[in-house]
Amino acid sequence: MIKKNWIWFLLVCFAGNAAAQDKHPDADSIMLEVLKYRDWYGDYIREYNALVYIKGNTQVKKKNILSKYAPNYLYWDQKGDDSFIESLVKVHYTSPNYFTQEIMALNGDHLKAEDVQDRLMRFLNVNIYNSTIFNDQILMPEHKKVFKYYRFKYIASQDTLGQIIHQIQIIPKIKSQKLISGYFYIVDGSWTIYRFDIRGKWEFFKFRVETELGLYQKEFLLPHRSTITFHLNLLGNEMVNTYFSQFEYQSVNSYDKHQKPAGTNYDLSHYFSIETDSVPVVADTLFWEKQRPIPLSPYEDRLLDHSLNESQTTGSPKQSWYIAKGLTVPTNFEHNQMQYNYSGLLNPLKLAYSGWDGVVYWQQISMKKTFGDGKMLHFNPAAGFLFRDKKLYFSTPATWVFAPAKFGEFFWTFENRNQAYNSTTIQEIKQFLPDSINFDDLQLEYYQHYHTYMEAKYEISNGFLVYGGLYYDWYIPVLNKNTPELRAEFSEDATQLVEDRYRSFAPVIGLRWTPRQYYRFNGKQKEYLFSQYPTFMVEYARGISGVLKSNSYYERVEMNIQQKIPLNLLKSLHYTLAAGWFTNTESVYFADFKHFQRKNIPQSWSDPSGGTFYLLNSNWYNATDYYAQAHFMYESPFDLLRLFSKIPADIVSSRFYAGYLYMPVLPPYVELGYGVGNFVGNANVFVSFKRGKYEAIGLKFAFELSL
């Protein structure tokens, strides 16, 4: 009887314990508590200065011949050996998510300095209570609408320093580089995040960030130590970067309810990353022994000795190797105090395709020299070959920055544009019903268009710039063998068939204004960042006959309004409204507008929408003496992609396009489009309509990796 009672007692205890375990707190409820205090904790630390010690090593697990030609954004050096680096970085933080860092000292493989500055600090500088991290690349589970994208699972609890810590697993509902997985460790009662272990993918790398934050007083809510790992496995090459960092805080400014709010300061120079002009290499053994919070392991000691010996014996990579590498991948290097960037002569990533232009292959090179006072000389030519038209387009922009703090610049370029026809044809086109126009039947006389201009601009006040310059265009007739009167004589003497050549000399003046423009100084160069208001532009040009053989007289006016409106959760809306017209056209002229023209060299996907219709016949761009257009682009990391669970995780953004064009010779023309893209490239589909009726459909694809 006693034995039975003991058995019954043990069964009851076991069942009670099991029931107690099943009654652990709900993960969603805990996350709701975290969200309740998110804004308070996220803004509690207003500012801090810290000295961060970082040590890291690179383990090359597999490599082949392709590793020698790895592009710079893979942070793989020429030899592809294991290496070690340590550094001291000064970090300044200002709420809510602004970081400035400066490398104070570096030891080991100095070729990895770019890795520390360009990549590691992006993952180290994190306000975990912000809705986005890593320079707005990742959506954090710290937003009120986060349950649309994440689900949470309770794992366990533990007692740490007298506090109950709940471990919550973060599980993304869809595959996306904008989302992370991992664990939050949350303090019961205060609902602060004590530790986080998150994983995801950034460009070609898988990453893992493990960070411990302070619990009490001085280091409350502040990162204390971190371990960051990057894993690259690409084309038979595998590399693992592991970094450890520890913070030492020099000053911390937390929330003070008695502190008066500061006025608006549009200068955000102290809130963004800064770059050092040179790498401050310090090889003093005693110096680093004092700075290291923990000693190096024997493995790290061996790597450090190897890195120092290699740098002393081999020095910098040979310039010939940089040139050879530049034939196949985008690369950059310095030579004779000049910075060079080249897209790669045989780089397949410089291919693009669109339904109208067909396959395009283009090249870019950048040569830049910066002087001690911030002045800069920059030459950035580009060329693109359209295989369908067998046409080479080129541009040779050169810029001299003479007043870097006031956007004082001189600019010059020489380029060719689409073949054009002159204004005498516009009257002929107006006689046709728009739907019946066939440009092939019109037997248009086309002209090769070459364009050059010199321009200067200067900032009068913050956000308000004035610019002016001189435009010069010349038009050389193109022989049309299909024209009846030319066909018979074409084989005799083609040069005698064409006599008319047109030239246009036009002074130009313009204004650009963005109210309440935020900016920063990168060194001595002022850079515009963002504004909550639109940018307004107006430009006036007047063609003058008789100057440099100019035989065109006209006036051209164009106006443009554009804005990017940030929405919640990494979403944004871009819009562009533009109009232009020619007046006082007392002679033959060419209706070439500045904000309404076809772009033959592919543009970056990060450029704002506006000015281009992807399916519009290029002949329409010269068919009118005035136009009005509107472009809208809505960008989101998910949207339609959320409906498809098997969409590749590498897609990081999707876009909806809508464009409207009005010209007197064309019925209302509309283009709608949808595209997806990431850091590698983008693919888009467009559909066009005339008077609400379907017109055409076309695809566009371009690689995004560039200089």
Write down the pLDDT at residue 14: 41
Write down the pLDDT at residue 2: 43
Q: What is the pTM of this model?
A: 0.82
For residue 229 the two structure tokens come to: 């790992």
Per-residue pLDDT tens over the stretch 372-409: 888 999 999 999 999 988 899 999 999 999 999 999 99
Q: Which of 180-184, 247-251, 636-640 has the lowest mean pLDDT?
A: 636-640
pLDDT at 681 over 70: yes
Write down the pLDDT at residue 266: 87
Three-class SS state of 46:
strand
CB 524 within 8 A of CB 373: yes
Count the neighbouring beta carbons within 10 Å of the beta carbon of residue 445.
17
CB 533 within 8 A of CB 515: yes
pLDDT at 89 over 50: yes
CB 510 within 8 A of CB 537: yes
Per-residue pLDDT tens over the stretch 143-173: 667 788 889 999 999 988 788 999 999 998 8
Cis peptide before 648 (omega within 30 of 0): no
Residue 136 — left, alpha, or beta (φ > 0 → left; ψ -120 to 50 → alpha)?
A: left
Q: What is the band of 424 on the pLDDT scale with cuts at 50, 70, 90?
A: confident
Write down the pLDDT at residue 16: 40
Beta bridge partners of 557: 540, 581
Pairing verdict, β 358-370 and 376-379: antiparallel
Write down the pLDDT at residue 578: 95
For residue 128 the two structure tokens come to: 């975990």
Question: Which residues, 6+ apart, have CB-to-CB distance to 469 below 8 Å?
Answer: 411, 453, 454, 455, 456, 507, 508
For residue 308, which phi and psi values (nearest 5 degrees)? -65, -40
Per-residue pLDDT tens over the stretch 92-113: 888 877 888 888 888 887 656 7
Taking residues 461-472, what's their average pLDDT?
Answer: 97
Per-residue pLDDT tens over the stretch 307-361: 666 655 554 555 555 555 666 677 777 777 788 888 877 787 788 888 777 899 9
pLDDT at 367 over 80: yes
Taking residues 668-697, what's their average pLDDT?
Answer: 89
pLDDT at 3 over 90: no
Per-residue pLDDT tens over the stretch 475-533: 998 865 444 444 444 444 444 334 568 899 999 999 999 999 999 888 888 999 889 99
For residue 236 the two structure tokens come to: 């038979």
pLDDT at 590 over 70: yes
Nearest to 606 by CA among 533, 679, 656: 679
Write down the pLDDT at residue 672: 95
